[in-house]
Structure 1
Amino acid sequence: MSHPLLQVSDLTIHGDGVTIAPFSLSLASGQRLTLLGETGSGKSLIAQAIMGTLPQGLTPAGELGIDGTSYAAADVAARRTLWGRRLALLPQEPWHALDPTMRAAAQITESHRHVAGLAPGKARQATQHDLAELGLEDAGGKLPGELSGGMAQRVAFAAASAGGAPIVIADEPTKGLDAPRRDAVVELLARTPQAGGALLTITHDIDVARRLGGEVVILRHGQVVERGPAERILEAPQTEYGRHLLDAEPSRWPAPPRLASAPDATPVVAARGLAKSRGGRQLFSGLDVSVLPGEIVGVVGPSGCGKSTLGDMLLGLASHDAGEIQHAPGHRLGLQKLYQDPPAAFSSHWRLSRLLDDLVQRHRLERAAIVPLMERLGLDERLLARRPGEISGGELQRFAILRVLLLEPRLLFADEPTSRLDPITQQQTLSLLVELARERRCGVMLVSHDPALIARLCDRQLALEENAEAASRPSAKAEPVSLA
């Protein structure tokens, strides 16, 4: 009988307020396993312990078997020679994985050359094939900072998988992607077990777990709650927590309270006839946008259609080619943005406590508001002692929400604000965001690739469509969305 490709025996992780109970798994050729659970349940830490990239202050114990060779979980150096060749990690945060000074195609080509060992010409051909397969034909010559979050995620995916490692760990590989590109990434992930490799996936997207199949493990607070075939776990979970997790899918959410707004209320922002081109391509033209106080307007459309660009224009962070934008009068901090990728919005060098202290002092805010908001967002006060790179992406996303709410904005452009959150935390966080928006009369433009989320949460919908043809034709439309 052949040995497992990946064996994890009694893995534990301790330190800095973290306790992961003994966790084991075994993945043979052709097998796949998906980890589900709330943000902070330990999913990403298990992946980091296998790779040997745990944050400072956390100590692993237990045994790992990688392609027939045994390693102590604490022996990090011995596993580094396997990176990219036998063991590959598709990272949760593309900004931590990509060189900001190197163009996208060059980063993928470098992996094909120096990890997979292809000749220069073959490496470039393989790169072009990867870019085309992921819908990135026009992205190869761009720097990571010039890419949308979804595009950067796909570039990091291509670079990490170029070495052809038979054991792949994918940490939230589809966050920030629209449905067609999410499905394309799932198909690419499935190729690893189909080719005889092993796949360990960490995701908050229950539909991704369904599509991948195999085995599913539900984690909570570092403990295995439920484990079994994906078909059984995701259709008929046996535990109360498993049922709670599935019930938090956006399609099952109750509708929030309707907006109570006077018919003649002054919009917090009103724009007429907006047009914008980028890279020689028309993103949209003739676009009208308005948001009332306390209103939640959903913004949808495929990756790269200009959703984030529209937000930057309305906030005064980017210019528009045509049209006009008017804002309701208010304080200078009234226009705020929740970024799709929070690592890009936080200084990596300072502890979170220092970053919040600086915000309070700089803008003379109420420090007493921090702890109650942390409690409502489900954030442990001990996280304040860590730096942004030392907490999960979901926790950092909630700190971004905390920070922007402290500023009491009148217009908030929320760009995929919960793409890193599990269904339970996502529902709690967005419910709180809507509640506070209604209370504070803050207009919110909410970007999401999840149509069920937009349909259940938003008062209206703005749909942006890809439009590389006639600039004179409006490429966006406003549609009412039923909250029933």
Structure 2
Amino acid sequence: MNAHVTAELSVFNLSIHSPQGEIVSNVSLSLGRGGPLTLLGESGSGKSLVAQAIMGNLPAGLVASGQVIFKGADLLSEGLEDRRRRWGRSVSLLPQEPWLALDPTMRVAPQVAEVHRYVKGRAVRESDAAAADNLADLSLAPAAGLYPFQISGGMGQRAAIAIAHASDAELLIADEPTKGLDAGLRDSVTARLRHEVENGKLLLTITHDVAVARVLGGTIGVMLDGRLIEHGPAERLLSAPEHAYTKALLEAEPSQWVSQARTAAGPVVVTGRALEKRYGEKVLFSGLDIGVSAGEITSIFGPSGCGKTTVGNILLGLTAPDEGSVERRAVLSPLRFQKLYQDPPAAFAPHQSLRKGMQDLVRLHGKDWSTVEALASRLRLSDALFDRLPSEISGGELQRFALLRALLLEPAFLFADEATSRLDPVSQKEVVAFLQEIAQERGVAVLMVTHDRDIADRVSNRVVELT
């Protein structure tokens, strides 16, 4: 940390234990005004657990030890009621998953307004006006009257950011604030976080995006397997990393990937012709022709809310086009058309262990458990993770479980909706390489939605750009 920054949040020897053993070991960090702190690392490294321990909302069954000193108080020794009194007032958390952060029964604007109303104590009219300003700042005014299920994942992420910003808390913990956002919105959100720091807020950011860490500056800590392996000023750490994993993390940024040779495609699996989709008076796209062939990866690239997910849902038959037609290979069972959802928690039963869900799938479709084990090994998913609930593992790990489950059904067409947006660069590179191997080995037609042009250009047989 910079010498001129006085620590107001100090973490000493923070360890986090599960019934199976220690999963975060002896993490020590400090954070002061004017010097943001960013934690980098792969999915499952313990970054988000550190944030949850500071916030006081660790998943059930996990216990933290050590000290977390904030403005002279040890947060770990406080009772639940004392912690809750801090939430949204002195400490605010922007959760990793907008699906879990937003109330599905409320429209977007009232969710922001109730922070001003009940946390800040403002009048109804003043709260509504402040919420409208928060949404306009994030280009979300058109979504004010919509429910969370009616907006894109990127728009949901911005709505969660608006709620966190409305609290105006002294300490903001931002857990993966830019995942699922295109480059323009990512830069806008990062600039807003920088603005919070410049206005005297304390900022702890959890991210796998090296570009975000670079712009935020301050101090960076790199985590691996529950340990803090490297820690120092952002400029020094990003230009001259010492640990081998940090070096691998920087080298795995998509801009550094080598373009892959394009393989010959097989027969067309699904085709959309002259597709058009409207929501009210807004036309997402019109006259769109798209086809995906066996053994190839087709990417849809474009900004948040442009209709990328809608195209894939139309090809799957989950959404009907307003104009145009879709043709799928008639010999294929509907089960062989699979989707990887943008928000993994939406795709899993929250109170069922991952092992039980996978066992049910194996039994229902007459598969062999050895196939599950082989796929888990290729996706770097340990056997111990199978016995946890979806909420007890990282977003990146849950996304890899979603990929395992989809591949278990031997898809002919796989719609990967932002399948890598929750992954660190190393894991992202591995999973994309795995998708390429699956496409070639099994002749799977892959339609991949991405907000990252570097990924689209380097791994796709063709790129469809929406605006």
TM-score range for the pair, normalised by the shorter chain length: over 0.9
Does the CA-based 8 Å contact 1:50-1:73 persist in structure 2? no
Map of 1:302-451 to 2, 5 A cutoff? 302-328=303-329, 329-451=331-453
Residue-by-residue CA offset, 1:187-215 (whole Å, 9 max, x unaligned):
11112211111100000110010111111
Aligned partner of 1:10 among 4, 8, 13: 13
* CA deviation after TM superposition for structure 1 residue 3, in Å: 6.3
Aligned partner of 1:101 among 105, 118, 121: 105
Q: Which sits farther off after the overlay, 352-361 or 305-314?
A: 352-361
RMSD, aligned CA: 1.5
Q: Which is richer in helix?
A: 2
Aligned partner of 2:244 among 212, 237, 240: 240
Corresponding residue for 1:88?
A: 92
Corresponding residue for 1:279?
A: 280
Give aligned-pair identity as a percent.
49
Residue-by-residue CA offset, 1:32-61 (whole Å, 9 max, x unaligned):
010001111110000010011111221101
* CA deviation after TM superposition for structure 1 residue 2, in Å: 9.6
- Normalised to the residue count of structure 1, the TM-score between the two structures is 0.93
Question: Which amino acid counterpart does residue 303 of structure 1 have in structure 2?
Answer: S
How many residues align? The count is: 462
- Tell me the SS of whatever aligns to 1:305: coil
- Tell me the SS of whatever aligns to 1:72: helix
Q: Which stretches in structure 1 are left out of the alignment for 5+ residues?
A: 466-484
- Tell me the SS of whatever aligns to 2:167: coil
Does the CA-based 8 Å contact 2:54-2:75 persist in structure 1? no
Pair 1:199 & 2:200 matched: no
Aligned partner of 1:226 among 230, 235, 238: 230
Q: Which stretches in structure 2 are left out of the alignment for 5+ residues?
A: none
Corresponding residue for 1:288?
A: 289
Residue-by-residue CA offset, 1:348-397 (whole Å, 9 max, x unaligned):
12111111111112222232200010010000111111111111111100
- Tell me the SS of whatever aligns to 2:37: strand
Pair 1:181 & 2:181 matched: no
Q: Which sits farther off after the overlay, 152-161 or 127-136?
A: 152-161
Distance 2:280 2:30 in 1: 47
* CA deviation after TM superposition for structure 1 residue 113, in Å: 1.2
* CA deviation after TM superposition for structure 1 residue 123, in Å: 1.0
Distance 2:280 2:216 in 1: 36
* CA deviation after TM superposition for structure 1 residue 74, in Å: 7.2
- Tell me the SS of whatever aligns to 2:295: coil
* CA deviation after TM superposition for structure 1 residue 455, in Å: 1.2
Question: Which amino acid counterpart does residue 109 of structure 1 have in structure 2?
Answer: A
Corresponding residue for 1:479?
A: none
Aligned partner of 2:145 among 141, 146, 149: 141
Does the CA-based 8 Å contact 1:5-1:167 persist in structure 2? no
Corresponding residue for 1:460?
A: 462
* CA deviation after TM superposition for structure 1 residue 7, in Å: 1.6
- Tell me the SS of whatever aligns to 2:242: coil
Distance 2:5 2:463 in 1: 54
* CA deviation after TM superposition for structure 1 residue 122, in Å: 1.5
Pair 1:212 & 2:213 matched: no
Distance 1:427 1:242 in 2: 15
Aligned partner of 1:49 among 45, 50, 53: 53
Distance 1:154 1:371 in 2: 37
Q: 1:384 to 1:2 in 2, by over 3 A?
A: closer
* CA deviation after TM superposition for structure 1 residue 183, in Å: 1.0
- Tell me the SS of whatever aligns to 1:23: strand
* CA deviation after TM superposition for structure 1 residue 239, in Å: 1.9
Q: 1:194 to 1:325 in 2, by over 3 A?
A: same
* CA deviation after TM superposition for structure 1 residue 72, in Å: 3.1
Distance 1:83 1:4 in 2: 20
Distance 1:271 1:230 in 2: 46
Residue-by-residue CA offset, 1:200-231 (whole Å, 9 max, x unaligned):
00001100101111111111111121111111
- Tell me the SS of whatever aligns to 2:396: helix
Residue-by-residue CA offset, 1:276-297 (whole Å, 9 max, x unaligned):
1113211111111111111101
* CA deviation after TM superposition for structure 1 residue 254, in Å: 2.7
- Tell me the SS of whatever aligns to 1:81: helix
Distance 1:31 1:320 in 2: 49
* CA deviation after TM superposition for structure 1 residue 77, in Å: 4.1
Distance 1:71 1:275 in 2: 53
Q: Which sits farther off after the overlay, 360-369 or 171-180?
A: 360-369
Distance 2:72 2:118 in 1: 24
